[in-house]
A and B are shown apart, each in its own frame.
Chain A
Amino acid sequence: MTTSPSATAAFPAWFTTRQQAAWGRYLAIPTPKRGDESWRFSNIKQLDFTGFTRGSGAPSATGLLARSTGLEATSAKFVFINEILAHAESELPAGVICLPLAEALVSHSELVEAHFMQQETRLGSAKFAALHEASLTNGMFIHVPNDVEIPHPIEIHHWLAGDNTVIFPHTLVVTGTHAKVRVVEMFRSADELQPGLAIAFNDLAAGPGSKLDYVAIQAFNEVSRVIQINETAAARDASTTGFILNTGAAWARNESLSRLEGAGSRSDMLAVSIAAAAQEYDQRTFQHHVSPGAFSDLLYKNSLYDFSTTIFSGLISVDEGAHHTDAYQTCRNLLMSDTCEANSMPGLEINADQVKCSHGSTSSQISEEEIFYLRARGIDPAAARQLIARGFSIEVLARLGDAALEALVIGFIDAKFASIANGGS
């Protein structure tokens, strides 16, 4: 992590220039420190990334390819191991561009340039976004032209392999007018014991009247660390959904920013996190209402076991003139041990009139009555608690409105609960 990016001859000049500028920014921006508002309650020690290096040589793909299973019906499927493309298949309507970023940078240079990392990272990780920009070598570029609907999800697998390896997965999705696409990304480690680092970025630009859904499943091994930064922009009447599942990693930081740029646009921001052992999930969100008459709804649910910690800091910001805004934000923490810690900072900044905004945050344990009710039906207390916790988490999934996708996510959730029931990882 101490080397500057080396220009890949094949990449266009604008990209090389951007990477060099980003490296300069990375070096110039100070490391977050205690007392920074956007890192309040965070464990700053986790930001020491010394010792991580890029993987040397391509790891064996065969075993990982076999494990790269997901949805039954997909319109495209890509597998990356340490940012290197290991598998690609697609069956997409004409005109759709769905390519590894390294390829798209060459074949669709201008289109990528127009959309590539156009926004300033505002939720605290500007330094790491710069590092990501300077260092990335690959990723996905998806462009859905006007009026094209992709029937099944595009599925992307990212594997992190090798000891102290760092990866920079990048996903850029752009939809044209009235287009429709759903992208599912899975982040996993090849090995359960090797610590890794992922600094991932997903950039979603939904064109007018389009529908863009993005699902991220973060299930790295429990010794790895992750920073995931999301930027969503919704144009007029566009509808976007962003969903994150956190079950893996020792420490994960999620930053999600939705910008409601067009009138009548909509953003659903969803997350389920199940933290156990000493896992720390640090989530920052921003619902930025730029235009009038837009709608945003955020629901984050955390279940906390053992010594785990979660941080939720959300802000609804309504610009001057963004009247008739509807914005909601809910964070619920289910406390499953007496040593876990939930921090919530739900915030509002309203500069407009005729708005309907609310936020709510709760932290509580399962009530004795609920346990009693299930015990009365012959379910033992441990199973009863698990059942309620599972129901608590999967309630969010219904908002995805897709049974197959729901089943995929539930698979990861159940695997996590099973690992907790077996005494942890």
Chain B
Amino acid sequence: MSYQASATLDAETHDAISIDRSKGDFTFPERNKLDAGRGLTSKTVDYISDVKNDPQWLRDFRHRALQVFLDKPMPTHWASPDLNNINFDEIRYYLSDGEKPKRSWDEVPDDIKRTFDRLGIPQQERAFLAGVEAQYDSEAAYSNVKEELTKQGVIFVNSTEGLHQHEEVFRPWFGKVIPTSDNKFSALNSAVFSGGSFIYIPKGVKLKQPLQAYFRINSENFGQFERTLIIADEGAELMYMEGCTAPKFETATLHSAVVELVALKGAKIQYVTVQNWSSNVFNLVTKRGIAMEDAEVRWIDCNIGSRLTIKYPGVIMKGRRARGEVISIALANTGQHQDTGAKMIHAADETTSNIVSKSISVGKGRATYRGQVHIPKHLKGCKNNTECDALLINSNSRTDTYPAITVKGNRHSTQHEASVSQVSEDMLFYLMQRGLNPGQAMSLAVNGFINDLVREFPMEYSVELKRLIDLEMEGSVG
């Protein structure tokens, strides 16, 4: 038996791997009343601003961002040249049925309801969520938060509502963690964003149950540009989870989100993502959090889907003893490139950051870790730990690691470690000797590889993750 032999995926293997995505691979007829058309010009931006009834400052903000987007070159000098395959003129930047998000599940239009029913959202919500928002193409279709939380002052609405009804909280932080000019795609998002969540957790409020958002692309050639801003006031705590799916269209689809987190003094934010876009979605996301004194921002990030993901969740530790953490799992199958990583910017004394990244490359899949750790010289007592481990399943799988660590001054310590390995023949032999078939043995070994990270996910997710990995592994061996 040799798992190296399976250099190319046979049809059966391919079917096995595709199973998991079928859950999201269905589509309903488009019934968009509002459509910004294809291509991106200042007219597109005006159309979106008109539809969303943007205040003048936001309209100006969008136009400035469009200019930045057009001026910035495609970052292919370091990133995958696959980016050049995105046709910005073919993409539709805004699609919506023009209706307000529904507060009650019964009011949601039937086909959208069926969409989210199939993804199991109402059951999940009843079971354990404090609030949920479901975005369908450009706008939220459903948004609900438990009543007692509203009474405590928790705000959980879509970004448009946040902007119009809570401008005094929204505007001071909007675009401050991730400036428009951060990169080409944050500029694109700033120009055409719609949807996404706005969350505010008042002082001292600790949410016991997570808030959740679902993102769904239903229309071909559609670009989803949601914008999320989460503010945890002093001492507040929350966990936010997002899931993403899209049907498999013939042509590529673009998802380019901007997520900004603000953890004020002593606050804790955990942001969990399980990204399972279909394998023709370009997923180019900018995520960054800012942590004030004693605050903590944790990104728990799992990338299984998409054609190309470029995403490096970051934390700016701005207050003393702030903590940043990125836990990342990436699974790259044939036709996929998971370019993920983390960015840790230490900007105060005694700040600590931790990055643990595990990637698995199957078939011809490619997993890349890119990281940045920055500790400037006027600080003291900063610590960073980075671990990246990569597992290669087949002989033509590929993995890269590109960290960049800058330490100034002598009162800090950083360590970085990376390893690349395979599942050893001995281990597989041992398991098979005990009656497991090669696929089961490989599955068990791979699950063991990421087990300590899977535990960081909420229970429902970790069960789901294990199952997804079992499916991905099925047939990759033999």
Contact = CB atoms under 8 A, between A and B. Distances in A.
Interface of A: 35-37, 40-41, 304, 320, 323, 333, 335-365
B410 interface: yes
Interface stretch (B23-31, B59-67, B315-323, B392-400): B392-400
28 contacts: A36-B77, A41-B406, A304-B410, A323-B4, A335-B409, A335-B410, A335-B412, A337-B409, A338-B377, A339-B409, A340-B409, A341-B406, A341-B408, A343-B406, A344-B403, A348-B390, A348-B420, A349-B400, A351-B396, A352-B395, A355-B420, A356-B420, A358-B419, A359-B416, A360-B418, A362-B415, A363-B413, A364-B412
Interface in B417-470: 417-422
5 closest Cβ contacts across the A-B interface?
A: A335-B410, A353-B395, A365-B410, A338-B409, A348-B401
B166 interface: no
Contact of B402 (A333, A345, A350, A351): A345
Contacts of B34: none
B137 to A, nearest CB: 36
B386 to A, nearest CB: 9
A410 B128 CA distance: 66
B379 to A, nearest CB: 9
B410 A40 contact: no
B78 to A, nearest CB: 5
Nearest to A356: B421
A346 B403 contact: yes
Given A345-B405, A365-B411, A350 B422 contact: no
B155 to A, nearest CB: 40
Nearest to B417: A360
Interface residues of B, number: 36
B51 interface: no
B407 interface: yes
Contact of B404 (A35, A304, A339, A344): A344
Contact of A365 (B398, B413, B416): B413
Contacts of B377: 338-341
A351 B398 contact: yes
A343 B403 CA distance: 10
Nearest to B409: A338
Contacts of A347: 400-403
B398 A363 contact: no
B414 interface: yes
Nearest to B366: A351
A340 B420 CA distance: 32
Contact of A353 (B77, B394, B415): B394
A36 B413 CA distance: 28
Contact of A40 (B404, B407, B416, B422): B404
A225 B422 CA distance: 44
Nearest to A321: B395
A353 B394 CA distance: 7
Contacts of B418: 346, 348, 358-360
Contacts of B411: 338, 365
Contacts of B408: 339-342
Nearest to B384: A363
B396 A320 contact: yes
B203 interface: no
Contacts of B390: 348, 350
A363 B400 contact: no
A353 B397 contact: yes
A335 B382 CA distance: 13
A361 B405 contact: yes
Given A36-B77, A339-B377, A358-B418, A323 B400 contact: no
Interface string B248-277: 000000000000000000000000000000
Contacts of A36: 77
Contacts of A364: 412-415
Given A338-B377, A358-B418, A350 B400 contact: yes
Contact of A362 (B402, B406, B414): B414
B334 to A, nearest CB: 14
A223 B403 CA distance: 32
Contacts of A41: 404, 406
B273 to A, nearest CB: 25
A118 B430 CA distance: 48
B407 A350 contact: no
Interface in B63-108: 77-78
A358 B417 contact: yes
A335 B411 CA distance: 8
B77 A337 contact: no
A355 B400 CA distance: 13
A358 B390 CA distance: 10
Contacts of B400: 347-350
Contacts of A350: 390, 392, 398-400, 420
A86 to B, nearest CB: 43
Contacts of A338: 377, 380, 409-411
B420 to A, nearest CB: 4
A358 B287 CA distance: 28
A40 B406 CA distance: 11
Given A345-B403, A346-B401, A365-B411, A357 B416 contact: no
Contacts of B402: 345, 347
A346 B388 CA distance: 12
B1 to A, nearest CB: 15
A336 B410 contact: yes
Nearest to B389: A358
B338 to A, nearest CB: 14
A385 to B, nearest CB: 10
B39 to A, nearest CB: 29
A10 B359 CA distance: 58
Given A338-B410, A342-B407, A365-B410, A357 B419 contact: yes
B378 to A, nearest CB: 8
A35 B399 CA distance: 24
Contacts of B407: 333, 335, 341-343, 363
Nearest to B7: A353
Contacts of B396: 320, 351, 353
A342 B406 contact: yes
Nearest to A362: B415
A362 B403 CA distance: 12
B422 A354 contact: yes
Contacts of B415: 360-364
Contacts of A40: 404
A357 B406 CA distance: 23
Interface centre among B408, B414, B419, B421 (most CB of A within 10 A): B408
A342 B400 CA distance: 22
